Structure 1
Amino acid sequence: MATHNTLLGDDSLIPHPDGFAVALRIPWYRSLWLSAVSEIRVNVDGVEIAQDRMHAELNGRSFPVQALKEQWDTLWFMQDRLHVVVHRDRPLRPGERLDVDVTISMRILYMQIAPMTYVTNRVHGHRELTARAAA
């Protein structure tokens, strides 16, 4: 269950007022604190998106992608989708297609292997996605 095929779904590309969001499923078999996320990298149509051109949204809260590892009080539940919002000049329209490539690294905080060192789950997902209507 903790495999790359859980990260992106066919419905993962969503128009957003700031550009578009990529909805990620937690790539693990149980919920984890958002602070477990150590890195998210996104490439769209072969172009890497700069960290300062993205933010993350979860349950009505917004975080800079670089600050996720500081969110020790926020749980990413299995049923939730972490929306990684990519900023661009115009919002994506429903029906537009993008080639989306995401890599996420997560520290498994209950699997400590040395002082302050944890097992890392690095998962890569790649799909050509069609933007669905915003919910």
Structure 2
Amino acid sequence: MMDNKMIIEGSLENVDGGFAFQGRLPYYRGLGLSMVEDIEVSVDGEPVAREAIRFSVRGKTYTLDEMETVYDDRWNFGEKATIIVLKDGGLKPGSYRIGFGTRLRISYLPMVPTTRDTKELALAA
């Protein structure tokens, strides 16, 4: 798995309703969105509530609950998805330790792999 390549450096930004960063699928093949069992985000070690996380790819945005039943969309290998965190006012300019984890359902694996990456990302003023 490619855990050290999950978070795209330099991608942290404030967006309408919160902040976002880009991430890659830590798997050598694409997966249907329903096979992404969970996404975890933390900021400076503080976990973000699942309900505050959104996943966006190719112009479509989903809650994590919605992704459980999305059978007609994929997260392709190497594709940059936008991970959005709902937070009033977003983040103040500065440096943040962003954690990003995924739990994937892969049919031929006897366990559910959870892969994590953490990077220091800066948010410009």
TM-score, normalization by structure 1: 0.80
- Structure 2 partner of 1:24: 23
SS of aligned partner of 2:65? helix
Deviation at 1:132, TM superposition (A): 6.4
Deviation at 1:15, TM superposition (A): 2.4
Partner Cα distance (1:80, 1:3) in 2? 13
Q: Deviations over 1:24-74 (max 9, x none)?
A: 101011111111100111111121111111211111111112222211110
Partner Cα distance (2:114, 2:109) in 1? 16
SS of aligned partner of 1:29? coil
Decide which structure has greater strand share: 1
Q: Which 4+ stretches in 1 moved above 3 angstroms?
A: none
- Structure 2 partner of 1:46: 45
- Give, as a single letter, the amino acid of the residue that structure 2 aligns with 1:60: G
Query: Within the alignment, does 1:73 sit opposite 2:72 as a pair?
Result: yes
Deviation at 1:112, TM superposition (A): 6.1
Query: Within the alignment, does 1:128 sit opposite 2:112 as a pair?
Result: no
- Structure 2 partner of 1:102: 100
Equivalent pair of 1:20/1:86 in contact (CA under 8 Å): yes
TM-score, normalization by structure 2: 0.86
Q: Superposition pairs for residues 111-126 of structure 1, below 5 Å?
A: 111=108, 113=110, 119-126=111-118
Aligned residue pairs total 125
- Give, as a single letter, the amino acid of the residue that structure 2 aligns with 1:5: N
- Give, as a single letter, the amino acid of the residue that structure 1 aligns with 2:94: E
SS of aligned partner of 2:8? coil
Gapped regions of structure 1 (runs ≥ 5): 114-118
